[in-house]
Amino acid sequence: MAYGGYGGYVQLGRQPDEDENLLATFRVVPGPGRTLHQAAEAVAAESSIGTWTALSTMQQRVLSKLQARIYSINKRTGILKAAYPLELFEPDNSSQILSDIAGNIFGMKEVAALRLEDFEAPKSYLNTFAGPAFGMEGVRKLVGTASKSSRRPHLGTIVKPKVGLTPKEGAKVAYDAWAGGLDFVKDDENLTSHPFSRFEERVVRYLEARDRAEEETGQKKIYAPNITAPADLMLKRAELVRSHGGECIMIDVVTAGLSSVQFIRHQNLKMLIHAHRAMYAAFARSHTHGMSMRVLAKLCRLCGTDQLHIGAMLGKMEGAVEDVMQIHKDINGDGYRKQWKNIKPVFSVCSGGLSPLQVPGLYKIIGNEAVFQCGGGVHGHPGGTYAGSRALVQSLEAAKKGVSLEQYAKTHVELAQALAKWKKK
């Protein structure tokens, strides 16, 4: 029986053609007085062509060709699977994906809670997106860790405190991190351009520090300045970074917006795009309402980010190991589905409350194919940033050799100091 204007959108057992439809998975809690079937009808209708009442303008050709269809309902879990005809989606438009399958539906009375868990799309549609310019392997080639013998996790840090340091002070912190053996240094999510640290001066001083560290260590170093701003200003900032020899930029992908990320990617600036997920938990942390990080991660891969924060697993940020590893699987390889084969893999970044103490456990879980990034776990070291960087390098050495941190610390003073500070008594 149809409920209100929503009817005919649930067609259970009608398996969709995966080459002709975008498939979405939702978790639904029906609203008061509604059944799961009624909620499913409303979700499919409002996210495609329907609305709350019968329409005199609705034509049969539109209904039969463009309506979304719920083809599976799990009454125990509240999981719905919906198929959307591909004609509903504009090629190479990440924002429009969300406007469609995650538009009005979260505010409907038919649902008490609703979560967009996942989506898949045909290869023909995915291939309209640029994807990463470099991807994981491109980042590795730049740093020099692409070969089997040199393959390892990349090690990075964030200049701390998050804000407040002058460009000169921050550049000294960055230099100490690189000199201590780290590959990667980035701005934090809320550092853009401020009276105490103007973007232009910061970029110049940090890149000068990078050059000096490269010359002294003989190792490739990467700096990711945060260019997050309105799209036109982001482009100006990115061009300034490139003009001074920078090879990487960072964007807060949620707050800047997916379209802004695509805009920068389409400029073909030949720089890595490091994606910070600041604010993602506002919609992803609840397991009953909002949108999963998995959806955002896939969209970031389509938009062209080369590195993406996926969660620390063993640090301060919420995120179960199995959930984070599923995200890693989605973005870090050709994918478990052949549709993603032509979209370059993204380098996963594990960050948030990590220190040298968590590196062996993290390495055991995720292996070589990630960036291990420690902020406070480097700069909070009793010996300062240089010593903290050395301790992080030593921790990874121990993990790769299968030696306990306690044993390795006997001959590595920086690691011993890190253990003394952060190991729980």
User: What phi, psi does 227 have (nearest 5°)?
Assistant: -95, 5
Does the pLDDT at position 411 exceed 90? yes
351 has which bridge partners? 373
Of residues 186, 276, 328, 381, which has the active-site annotation? 276
The string of pLDDT tens digits covering residues 67-77 is 889 999 999 99
Of residues 160, 309, 328, 381, which has the active-site annotation? 160
Task: Work out the percent of the chain whose per-residue pLDDT is above 70.
Answer: 93
The string of pLDDT tens digits covering residues 9-65 is 899 988 999 999 999 999 999 999 999 999 999 999 888 877 666 766 666 765 666
Burial 123-135 (b: 16+ CB within 10 A, else e): eebbbebbbbbbb
Strand arrangement, sheet containing 79-85? 69-74, 79-85, 21-30, 111-120, 290-291
- Cβ–Cβ < 8 Å for 1, 78: no
Distance CA 138, CA 425 (A): 42
Would you list the DSSP string of 114-168? EEEEEEE--HHHHTTS---SSHHHHHHHHHT--STTT---EEEEE-SSSS---HH
Does the pLDDT at position 3 exceed 80? no
Distance CA 301, CA 134 (A): 11
pLDDT at 337: 66
pLDDT at 319: 63
| Domains in the chain with CATH codes | 21-126 (3.30.70.150), 135-422 (3.20.20.110)
Task: Please state whether the peptide bond connecting residue 230 to the residue before it is cis, i.e. omega within 30 degrees of 0.
Answer: no
Task: Work out the percent of the chain whose per-residue pLDDT is above 90.
Answer: 85
How does residue 2 score in pLDDT terms, banded at 50, 70 and 90? very low
Does the pLDDT at position 6 exceed 90? no
Is residue 270 flagged as an active site residue?
no
**CA geometry: angle 86, 90, 92, nearest 5 deg:** 110
Q: Helix, strand or coil for residue 98? A: helix
* Best CA proximity match to 306, nearest among 338, 341, 255, 264: 264
Is residue 316 flagged as an active site residue?
no
The string of pLDDT tens digits covering residues 184-193 is 999 999 999 9
**Mean pLDDT value across the chain:** 93
80 has which bridge partners? 26, 73
The string of pLDDT tens digits covering residues 104-159 is 999 999 999 999 999 999 999 999 999 999 999 999 999 999 999 999 999 999 99
The string of pLDDT tens digits covering residues 326-368 is 999 999 875 556 789 899 999 999 998 899 999 999 999 999 9
Does the pLDDT at position 271 exceed 70? yes
The string of pLDDT tens digits covering residues 232-241 is 999 999 999 9
